[in-house]
Amino acid sequence: MRKYQDLEGLLKGISVPLDKKGFADLLADDLKQAHCQIFGETIDDELVLLAELKTQDNSISYSSGMFSQSIAFVVVGHIISNEYPAITYRVDTGTFQFYGRCSTIPQVCGVDLYLDKSYTQTIGDYVKQKFTIPVNQLYRAAQV
């Protein structure tokens, strides 16, 4: 399951209460600097960096429905190692982070991110991965 950290960092220096749209704008602005790391693990549970991805320009979009709002964004980069299969990922915006388990194999239990087919496990290959952030859930978690 995906976990979020340091959401309160988004609200530092904000003195007025924010509605969901204002909070979503803060999230979207912060996601412009996001980078994603994909890791494998050794038999001794040591993390090995497999790929580093950065937010693709103009890829951040806000979606608003009657009951839910979300922000989607795309990260891109290259595979730098293929020593181990991808097991975990971490996205860091500089203000807040989220992380979880990933897989290249569909329908694996306990995984919250299935890597895009562009993740070939070949060093140097270009990777493109889409993420969707649930604004409602994070708005409540940040206790705005």
Query: So where are the chain's domains?
Result: 3-141
Which of 75, 78, 79, 81 is closest to 46 using CA atoms?
Answer: 81
Cα separation, 76 vs 44, whole angstroms = 29
Residue 144 pLDDT: 47
pTM: 0.90
pLDDT (mean) for 88-114: 90
Secondary-structure breakdown of the chain: helix, strand, coil percentages, each rounded to the nearest 5:
15, 40, 45
Residue range 115-120: mean pLDDT, rounded = 89
Question: Could you tell me the sign of the dihedral formed by the alpha carbons of 79, 84, 87, 92, in that order?
Answer: negative
